[in-house]
Structure 1
Amino acid sequence: MRNHMLILLFNICVIASAMFLALTVHSLFAVIGLGVFLFPLLRMANILRDLDERERALDGLSAKIALGFSMTIALLAVALKIDFQSRDVFVFFLFPLIAKASIFFALAKPRETVMKYVGRTLVCLYLFFVILSHGVSLTTLIESLPGLGILALVELSIKWRWLSTAFFVLAVLISPMFLENVGKPGAFITFVILITPMLVMGSTFFKKEE
């Protein structure tokens, strides 16, 4: 019980720090803190009871890793002086959730489960961004093809472990496409949201069988 209270206190202090940074540096820090710790805090307070004791510990660990990663991304965005609009704020809530969920699955679930959920979510996100950019059009159909290719790679990687390393290669190959425009909000947001699940899926190659 004491350990739970200490962890809860630590999480509250982290969120308080995020709020302080939001007031003194950039408002994005508040959204990131909320995105990372929303569900862990609900579980610590026993409002959500969907995980066992081991999974709850990994849930907290994944939140802390995602927090560090998300804060680094936010600081990078501030350093690059990217001019985000109010409509972009939801993405800075979405990104920590994606990062935390991906890391949690990588820590807590079998390799096949990680590939299924993280990979299919990645494809859905890619298709979402394509449709958001071009609407229902021929361009959307053409630009959806890489997403379908990624889906095929995900399904094959479930069967053959070594293929999961292809996601590291894919992350390296697509990075230049975004980095040359990284100062633009759309390119920056798309890059960090797509790259994170790719790195997680690539890391499943090193995950031991349950």
Structure 2
Amino acid sequence: MLKTIRTILWTLVAVAAAGAAWIWYQGMAAPQPAGQSYAQYSQDGQFGAGDYRLVAAGTGETVGDEIFLGRPSLTFFGFTHCPDVCPTTLADIGHWFAELGPDAEAVQAFFVSVDPERDTPEVLADYVGWVDGVTGLTGEPAEVEKAVAAWGVLAEKAPLDGGGYTMNHTASVFLTDAEGRFFGTIAYGENSDTAVAKLRRLIGEG
């Protein structure tokens, strides 16, 4: 009887832990559209529009939300001290572009830092430089905060044991068309063939 009770209790603990993990993953991977649906965003015009000013890593050029216009875009919010999601996503983008071949020239990709205190333009340029076609964007903390709010993403500091911090952030890649309208997302860990198919549809619709 005691063994049975222990088994039931451990099962409940495992279920609770799995539920907590799922909630955490949803918070990390699911975009946070500031109370609106994506349909509403796309109907309202340019997705992520705002008065923020960011710095393009590598060139030092100051840019606004107009940088996301003109060509279909992939936009990801991350940081250079990220242990797994960010480098994996960069590698995925490089793979998607390789699969697209010459069609990859029809799209642009952006890595927007959510950790501007550490991610200077020089640091970010070096971080994204190994993936052709990806532009790093950072800036003053206040400007990055405005960009984060405009895109409706999660970005918050999480203290680490022993000092320092990491960043909790949305892990999805945002897809927008040439006019900046929301097209969809690619989830972290999504099947590569599915991701490339989405990009081909994005390119097809321009």
TM-score (norm 2): 0.26
Larger RCO (CA under 8 A, 6+ residues apart): 2
Tell me which protein shows more helix as a share of its residues.
1
Tell me which protein shows more strand as a share of its residues.
2
Q: Which is higher, the Rg of structure 1 or of structure 2?
A: 2
